[in-house]
């Protein structure tokens, strides 16, 4: 998602409606109708970390899972709460030491104050009419977050605007013997 749009949108809304934060703590800006449609077959490395618009048929989707967004930790030695720490998909949060008692742990996740977001994966496959004769249809994993989960069912033809990203996959590295990244589309 494009976080800067979300941050600016919430700032603008809070200027006009300060009480909105009591209803919802975040706003998600969605970009639609991007002028250029890219075929799943034509997604390449020069489009990595770029906004793309793709079309296809949903072939599979996972269940809905909670994913960490902001995590808080409890220090088990002094009882103080550490955080919030922003958790993104690429990095794992490691707490070095407690600022209150300077201990190096142990720390546990404070599940009451930690904020989660909804997370779902779906597989998007080229539409049957767009596959060249004699070729197998290509597919891509699409990540759905927040309110986008369950927005499409298997068998539906959809149009998705999102950011084309690489995703570290240890099994691909083991299989190929050198660093390889899988690619996904993070739906906007």
* pTM beyond 0.75: no
C-alpha span between 120 and 65 (Å, rounded): 6
- Domain enclosing residue 104, as ranges: 67-116
Q: Are 103 and 152 part of one and the same domain?
A: no
Confidence of residue 36 (pLDDT cuts 50, 70, 90): confident
Q: Are 10 and 93 part of one and the same domain?
A: no
Q: Are 51 and 112 part of one and the same domain?
A: no
Q: How many domains does the chain have?
A: 3
Q: Residue 166: is its pLDDT beyond 70?
A: yes
Q: Are 143 and 75 part of one and the same domain?
A: no
Q: Are 121 and 155 part of one and the same domain?
A: yes
Q: Are 74 and 140 part of one and the same domain?
A: no
User: pLDDT tens digits, residue range 112-124?
Assistant: 878 788 888 999 9
Q: Are 73 and 125 part of one and the same domain?
A: no
Tell me the β-bridge partners of 141: 123, 184
Confidence of residue 7 (pLDDT cuts 50, 70, 90): confident
Q: Are 61 and 73 part of one and the same domain?
A: no
Would you state the pLDDT for residue 122?
A: 93
Q: Residue 90: is its pLDDT beyond 80?
A: no
Q: Of the ranges 60-64, 122-126, 153-157, 169-173, which one carries the lowest mean pLDDT score?
A: 169-173
Q: Are 19 and 88 part of one and the same domain?
A: no
Task: Mention every residue, 6+ apart, whose C-beta is less than 8 A from residue 83.
Answer: 70, 71, 72, 73, 110, 113
């Amino acid at each position: 998602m494009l976080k800067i749009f979300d941050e600016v949108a919430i700032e603008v809304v809070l200027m006009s409606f300060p009480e909105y934060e009591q209803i919802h703590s975040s706003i998600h800006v969605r970009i639609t109708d991007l002028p250029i449609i890219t075929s799943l077959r034509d997604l390449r490395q020069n489009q990595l970390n770029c906004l793309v618009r793709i079309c296809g048929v949903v072939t599979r989707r996972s269940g809905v899972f909670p994913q960490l967004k902001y995590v808080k930790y409890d220090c088990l030695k002094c009882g103080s709460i550490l955080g919030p720490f922003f958790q993104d998909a690429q990095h794992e949060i490691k707490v070095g030491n407690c600022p209150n008692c300077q201990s190096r742990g142990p720390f546990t996740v404070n599940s009451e104050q930690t904020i989660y977001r909804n997370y779902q994966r779906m597989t998007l496959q080229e539409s049957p009419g767009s596959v060249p004769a004699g070729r197998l249809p290509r597919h891509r994993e699409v990540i759905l977050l927040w309110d986008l989960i369950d927005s499409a069912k298997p068998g539906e033809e959809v149009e998705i605007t999102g950011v084309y990203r690489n995703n570290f996959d240890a099994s691909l590295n083991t299989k190929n013997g050198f660093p390889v990244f899988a690619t996904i589309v993070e739906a906007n």
